[in-house]
Structure 1
Amino acid sequence: MLERHEIECFLTLAEELHFGRTAERLRLSQARVSQTIKKLERRIGAPLFERTSRRVGLTPLGARLHAELEPIVRRLEAAVQRAVEAARGVDGVLRVGFLGIGAGQLTQPILGTFRARHPGCEIRMQETHFADPLGPLRDGEVDVLITRLPVEEPDLTVGPVVLSEPRVLAVPAGHPFARRRSVSLEDLARVTVFGVTGPAPQYWWDFHVPRRTPSGRPIPRGQSVATFQELLALIATGQGASPVAASVQRYYARPDIAFIPITDAPHTQVALVWRTAAATARIHAFAQAAHDAVEANGGPARY
């Protein structure tokens, strides 16, 4: 039977692949971490990690053990957390992160529905940035996130979609496209778009700003940006263009930027996202409030 500290040490080292960082996270000495792993390997009967002077890696056996053990441990932790939250009820503080305009016109109905049902729970809002849309959630700074899809992370749960809208191309007001009634994704090969500075998942950024047109033509990329306001400033000064959600025209309208509908771009959606292992009664209550507000609106908000 494995002991709890052995399991915790193994899973942490499998994640960090570094004895020093593992020791720091567990608040142990590196020697203690090494001893614990060696003891576990003796019990298993084979090495779980490959160690060299430059790197630490999982052996095939170690990788298989991690794949089978990690979800079990996370489910146990989630079960205990749900029991704790059930005992406490929904009262307390719920930290809600939001990207950009959040759920748009549905943000207030969602918050209003939740507050009416759970007046003893305080909601604290925190803005996130597209350079690292999932960072505050992963770091535990927020409990639930209202963010743009796609989110395809094994440790995160995607809840109800609250907003669905078409996309437009933001260009400088003097750009030739500004005189057109619409553009297509193929037209992106004729402009320079922006990269992103930060740990945003590559698939997330590629959905919002594709690297190639549908026919395979490369889309030129200029400098990287870290915030949305920086993106708008660069567009306004003629340094590039960018596909954005149609609601940007309503909430961030400015005379030096034109917004042209993209006729063949898939809609962009906003949904609730939370850490699966950290789900609580408050998060589920907020997701239910969001679902009910969406239903009362006749479906996700649209622009």
Structure 2
Amino acid sequence: MENPEVPLSQLHAFAVLAEELHFGRAAARLGIAQPPLSQQIRRLEEKVGHPLFARGPGRVELAPAGRELLPAARAALTGLADGLSAARAAGSGRTGHLRIGFAASLALTVLPGLLGRFRERYPDVRLDVREMTSAPQLTALRERDIDVGLLREPPADRAGLRFATVLTEPFVAVLPASHPLAARRSVPLGLLADSPFVLLPRAVGPELHDRITGLCAEAGFTPRVAQRAVEWPTVCAMVAAGMGVSLAPAGIRRMRCERVVFRRVEPASARTTVAMAWRGDESTPLVANFLTVVGRGAPPH
């Protein structure tokens, strides 16, 4: 064709007529009268410069130019349909790429269920799941390196971000099996005052660190930190080695730690908050869908 600017409506009319080989049936299928269909075909033939159909009494057949054009017309119409379908899927959040940061301890509790529910409902969304402590998650959100964060203890400085509580979880005391308090079913927090502590560095999770030290302050003491570890398995390993005790989210109990016991902490109000975080200036369908799944799937507080 000399002029590539061919309306898709003309290609559609041509493709339908090529299938029906009857102007009346093709017009009915297109939902138009026969004269407008004839006009569409004539205009397309003018652009091609050759007849697309051989017309005779009671018959319509594809001309050589029509047989050559038909595969390209069908491909163009299929490409448009596919493009529209893909655009609708992306616009509704049914496809795309969602980057999620998560606190390591959540892999032992809520994360598998949340991801499983989301994948079941949105199987065509590609998930990029990254293990990150809370402070790096907040930085990654603000720098647009991740789209959603699942973290512990939302920060006081929430500039540019929004948060939704997923659940609250009790703390447990992490004790060496040989510790004098290991024989108890629950441990009043104040009884840990004389024990050295193994804690996460404040820099990687300031809110969780401050929550733990704040609970200790409410119990009347400041924890004496003997060791620091970034990952909970390392914390448990140090506790197993007798280097101290710790406070950890209750989900840590699912880890297999030899020579370590986990005991309920008193008071029962010693709990940690798990929250979802996302950018306040960006409400994409992907994030909105994930928030909906998280909201529906979260355990009761």
Give TM-score scaled by structure 2 length: 0.61
Which blocks of at least 5 consecutive residues in structure 1 are unaligned?
A: 1-83
**Aligned ranges for residues 139-218 of structure 1 at < 5 Å?**
139-152=143-156, 153-161=158-166, 163-197=167-201, 199-200=203-204, 202-210=206-214, 212-218=216-222
Q: Distance in 1 between matches of 2:282 and 2:184?
A: 48
Matched, 1:219 2:226: no
Q: CA deviation at 1:128?
A: 1.3
- Distance change (3 Å), C-alpha of 1:258 and 1:142: same
Q: Report if the CA contact (8 A) 2:198-2:229 is conserved.
A: yes
Q: Identify the range of structure 1 (224-233 vs 211-220) with the bigger mean alpha-carbon deviation.
A: 211-220
| Higher RCO by CA contacts (8 Å cutoff, separation 6 or greater) | 1
Q: CA deviation at 1:89?
A: 3.9
- Distance change (3 Å), C-alpha of 1:248 and 1:274: same
SS at match of 2:244: coil
1:292 paired residue number: 296
2:278 paired residue number: 274
1:120-144 deviation line (CA, Å, top 9, x unaligned):
3111211113674534434433211
1:161-212 deviation line (CA, Å, top 9, x unaligned):
1x33221110111111112222112123121123443633534311034374
Q: CA deviation at 1:278?
A: 3.8
The one-letter amino acid of 1:259's match is F
Matched, 1:93 2:101: no
**Aligned ranges for residues 35-184 of structure 1 at < 5 Å?**
88-90=91-93, 91-102=95-106, 104-129=108-133, 132=136, 134-152=138-156, 153-161=158-166, 163-184=167-188
Structural RMSD (CA) = 2.9
2:266 paired residue number: 263
- Distance change (3 Å), C-alpha of 1:141 and 1:85: farther
1:105-163 deviation line (CA, Å, top 9, x unaligned):
543443343334433311121111367453443443321111112333222211241x3
- Distance change (3 Å), C-alpha of 1:102 and 1:212: closer
Q: Distance in 1 between matches of 2:199 and 2:105?
A: 21
Identity score, percent: 28
- Distance change (3 Å), C-alpha of 1:145 and 1:177: same
Q: Report if the CA contact (8 A) 1:86-1:281 is conserved.
A: no
Give TM-score scaled by structure 1 length: 0.61
Matched, 1:254 2:257: yes
* Count of residue correspondences: 212
Q: Which has the larger radius of gyration?
A: 2
Q: Report if the CA contact (8 A) 2:90-2:96 is conserved.
A: no
The one-letter amino acid of 2:221's match is R
The one-letter amino acid of 1:102's match is L
The one-letter amino acid of 2:259's match is D
Q: Report if the CA contact (8 A) 1:195-1:221 is conserved.
A: yes
